[in-house]
Amino acid sequence: MPDTSVSAQLRVRVVYLARLRDALGSAGETFALPADDAPTVDSLVAALRGRGGAFATELAPGRAIRFAVNHRVAGRSQSVADGDEVAIFPPVTGG
């Protein structure tokens, strides 16, 4: 009989771009989320923000950040699956 005391987890590759890479001190990481919670970009961001420090500051509600899941622009309600890549980045301006 399987052990049900441990929740299944999925792993996503999180990529930090532009100023976030500098502020968070990393270009990216593999992050585990509970698979039974129907994870979304928003729940991933909330989990990262829960670390405190620069994560809480840079990923705070109201901060101008954008997302892409598997190289496609995504909203906060986009679901994420095991093996997905989620990029987090500031809006890009140019001229």
CB proximity list for 32: less than 8 A, separation 6 or greater: 9, 10, 11
Task: Provide the token pair at 62.
Answer: 């109201």
In a domain, 3, yes or no: no
In a domain, 72, yes or no: yes
72: three-class secondary structure by DSSP: strand
Total count of domains within the chain = 1
Q: What is the pLDDT of residue 36?
A: 78
Instruction: Kindly report the CATH number assigned to the domain that includes residue 42.
Output: 3.10.20.30
pTM: 0.88
Write out the residue range of the structural domain in which residue 59 sits. 9-89
In a domain, 44, yes or no: yes
In a domain, 4, yes or no: no
Q: Is the model's pLDDT at 6 over the cut of 60?
A: no
Q: What is the pLDDT of residue 7?
A: 64
In a domain, 95, yes or no: no
**pLDDT tens figures, 15-73:** 999 999 999 999 999 999 988 778 999 999 999 999 999 999 999 999 999 999 999 99
